[in-house]
């Protein structure tokens, strides 16, 4: 497994004291800097005053539950990666968590090696995105969408559109390659980086989230069955 960067700072948000302590021990043993809290409200206050590279988040929390926490986080345009670590195991829970803006989802009880692999994967992914320059475009426009690739800000119909970092990169790639079909593998590479262990299903989930946020204009993104996705040319959009 890749050795962790000791500069990486992780926030653990877990109300069960024993699990909270266990997560801290696991992460500290791998060289991460760790902070921890027992409730969602305290965690939200903490992320307003400190910068973290990753948040491990339980769902069922006092004060503010995990789902509301991540929604508030994304509404503040905070793109800190989040991994849900929760006992909620139903497929609809997983979809709901990812749609809210989580980057990964791990079910309790978890295997320590799997947890560390997920942490390492998400951190590598975000490190790749942070260090990969855009294609010399700082501002992109498509229909009623306006994107600033320097600030990660998106305006949709003159209002802010809050996207996860992966959704942002997918939308950026689609606009930069308007009307060109991008395969799922291409989107995995361009959006999440080489060497990151993800599947095409991950891309499908992010595209689903994008379409949902675009509302009635979700059909701007066309599915090419068995291949991938493309953004319709502006003169073909109703």
* Separation between Cα atoms, residue 119 and residue 94, nearest integer Å: 17
CATH class of 9-131: alpha beta
Question: pLDDT tens track of the chain, all 238 residues?
Answer: 444 444 789 999 999 999 999 999 999 999 999 999 999 999 999 998 888 999 999 999 998 999 999 988 888 878 889 999 999 988 888 888 888 888 889 999 999 999 999 899 888 877 755 555 444 447 888 889 999 887 888 999 888 998 887 888 899 999 988 888 988 888 887 776 544 445 677 888 889 989 999 999 999 999 998 889 999 987 655 5
Nearest to 126 by CA among 136, 135, 114, 118: 118
237, two tokens: 């959009």
69, two tokens: 């926490």
By the 10 Å C-beta count (0-12 exposed, 13-18 middle, 19+ buried), 192 is classed as buried
* Separation between Cα atoms, residue 220 and residue 231, nearest integer Å: 6
* Separation between Cα atoms, residue 38 and residue 82, nearest integer Å: 16
Residue 73: which residues within 8 A CB-CB, separation 6 or more?
44, 47, 80, 82, 101
The answer to whether the CB of 107 falls within 8 A of the CB of 89 is: yes
Nearest to 94 by CA among 76, 107, 79: 107
What are the C-alpha distances in Å from 7 to residues 28, 47, 63? 12, 17, 30
113, two tokens: 């090696």
77, two tokens: 């345009």
- Asked if omega into 109 is within 30° of 0 (cis), the reply is yes
* Separation between Cα atoms, residue 205 and residue 190, nearest integer Å: 16
Across-strand partners of 172?
Answer: none
139-236 CATH fold: Arc Repressor Mutant, subunit A (1.10.10)
Extents of the domains making up the chain: 9-131, 139-236
User: SS3 of 148, please?
Assistant: strand
Residue-wise pLDDT for 54-67, tens only, equals 999 999 999 899 99
């Amino acid at each position: 497994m890749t050795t962790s960067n000791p500069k990486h700072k992780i926030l653990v948000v877990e109300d069960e004291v024993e699990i909270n302590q266990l997560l801290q021990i696991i992460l500290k043993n791998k060289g991460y800097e760790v902070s921890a809290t027992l409730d969602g409200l305290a965690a939200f206050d903490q992320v307003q005053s400190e910068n973290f590279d990753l948040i491990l988040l339980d769902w069922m929390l006092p004060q503010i539950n995990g789902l509301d926490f991540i929604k508030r986080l994304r509404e503040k345009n905070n793109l800190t990666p989040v991994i849900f670590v929760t006992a909620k195991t139903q497929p609809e829970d997983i979809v709901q968590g990812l749609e809210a803006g989580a980057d990964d989802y791990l079910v309790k009880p978890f295997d320590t090696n799997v947890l560390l692999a997920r942490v390492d994967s998400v951190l590598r992914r975000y490190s790749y995105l942070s260090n990969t320059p855009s294609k010399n475009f700082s501002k992109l426009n498509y229909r009623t969408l306006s994107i600033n690739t320097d600030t990660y800000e998106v305006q949709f119909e003159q209002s802010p559109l809050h996207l996860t970092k992966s959704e942002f990169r997918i939308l950026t790639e689609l606009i930069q390659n308007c009307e060109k079909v991008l395969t799922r593998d291409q989107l995995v590479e361009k959006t999440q980086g080489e060497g990151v262990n993800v599947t095409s299903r991950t891309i499908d989930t992010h595209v689903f989230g994008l379409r949902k946020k675009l509302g009635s204009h979700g059909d701007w993104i066309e599915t090419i069955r068995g291949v991938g996705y493309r953004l319709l040319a502006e003169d073909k959009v109703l």
